[in-house]
Amino acid sequence: MDNSRDRIVITGVGLVSPIGNSLKEFRKNLLEGKSGIRRISKRLMGEVFAGVCEFDELKYQNKKYRKKGTRSGSIGIFCANEAIADSKVDFKNIDRSRAGVYVGITDHGAVEMEEELFAIREYNDDTSYWSHHFGPKIIANNPGGEIALNLGITGPHYTIGAACAAGNIGLIHGVQMLRLNEVDFALAGGVSEAPCSTGYFACFKNQNALAHHSDPARACRPFDVDRNGIVISEGGCLFTLERLSDAVKRGAKIYAEVVGYGINTDATDHVAPNSTRQSECMSMALNRAGINPQDIDLINTHATSTPLGDETESISINKIFGDCETVCITNTKSFIGHAMGAAGALELAGELLTYEDDLIHHTLNLENLDPECAMRNIVKNAPIEHTNVDYILNNAFGMLGINSTVIVKRYEY
């Protein structure tokens, strides 16, 4: 029986990150240990650390449309077009009514609201100066709608609010819609414009959860005993997803097959994570993939460099993988900070080329492992060679207890 129509593969990657705007550049800087964290000046906050992206916002849209749109929308448009180019699909001849856009976000509208409030200060808070573009900028289906508009996609577009699990969940939703035969081609992942918001920095600082260090490059240090908070970052990553049968038919390059996923909810606290629910989420993904914990070769952790968050995830991983001697564990936020809604997708993308270069990138700034975060085979100090990575598990967890896990597999031609 041919089940290739139910097998979903990644055929293109488009991304924007603090350390590169292509998968090749992103991967190179991960392997070379380059940090993307720097000091920026933030309104009302002064100097803060952030991961900021630099890319050509006008490469795929003109100034008129950029003015109507948002920063997260421009990130999404760039990533979507780059993913399509990378996939080498004949997009001009794709049935746009059978293409879908599934973009995860942490939130949307806070940046635009702040900008308008500060802008009308110059006019004694006269609301007649409030931008008439405000409505479409803050609605929940932006930036997915901006991507669909830019590409002329007339199939479904969803912007999925799932906190910091959103990048994974955007990908998962694209997989589900392909399997349901709702679409034939999907753009799926996540985006974030978080550093544009003063509110994010103020919120995390007032929770004592904003990272501080004398050196920006060393501020984000997951699992390290001296970690003290997150670094807020922006970015985006969208994948082109296709059924295996369609990808093989057109001779597409296949980065990986999406074989398992899990989504669940803690239902215990607004912010504090729940290790039991996280473990259950990983188990759900393993069950859906039809594999055992021992089959996983690499885990990319969600760990944000907060004391409680890192410890909780370590407990949940050890519960499932504690007896697995060969699984390797790493973290990408140590390089780029926490890209919020983009995090899950970006961090998964950073691991995909493991299938080509046989290397696992290390966790940056892990100098003194916290005993409460002790796990087997955490890759630190430098990348390691690994020629037999088949299954990669990627975690992404968020506020209000939303958890997600994605498992991808090496595709054998």
Closest CA to 31 of 39, 15, 45, 20: 20
Answer yes or no: 302 catalytic.
Answer: yes
φ, ψ for residue 232 (rounded to 5)? -80, 130
Tokens of 261: 């996923």
Tokens of 53: 């992206």
- Specify burial of residue 307 (Cβ count, 10 A radius: 0-12, 13-18, 19+): middle
> Which of 213, 302, 361, 362 does the annotation list as catalytic?
302
CA distance 109 to 134: 9
Answer yes or no: 164 catalytic.
Answer: yes
φ, ψ for residue 350 (rounded to 5)? -65, -20
Q: Are 411 and 176 in contact (CB under 8 A)?
A: no
Q: Which residues contact 63 (CB under 8 A, 6 or more apart)?
A: none
Answer yes or no: 220 catalytic.
Answer: no
Tokens of 135: 């409505």
- Specify burial of residue 208 (Cβ count, 10 A radius: 0-12, 13-18, 19+): exposed
Amino acid at 177: M
DSSP letters, 259-276, are EEEEEEE--S-SSS--HH
> Which of 79, 164, 196, 220 does the annotation list as catalytic?
164
Closest CA to 74 of 64, 87, 84, 61: 61
Closest CA to 179 of 238, 246, 79: 246
147 DSSP β-pair partners: none
Tokens of 344: 């899950």
- Specify burial of residue 204 (Cβ count, 10 A radius: 0-12, 13-18, 19+): buried
Tokens of 108: 């949307």
> Which of 338, 361, 362, 373 does the annotation list as catalytic?
338
Closest CA to 334 of 199, 233, 404: 233
Tokens of 251: 């001779």
CA-CA-CA-CA torsion sign (271, 277, 282, 285): negative
From residue 390, alpha-carbon distances to 257, 308, 368, 371 in Å are: 10, 31, 30, 29
Which positions are annotated as active-site residues? 164, 302, 338
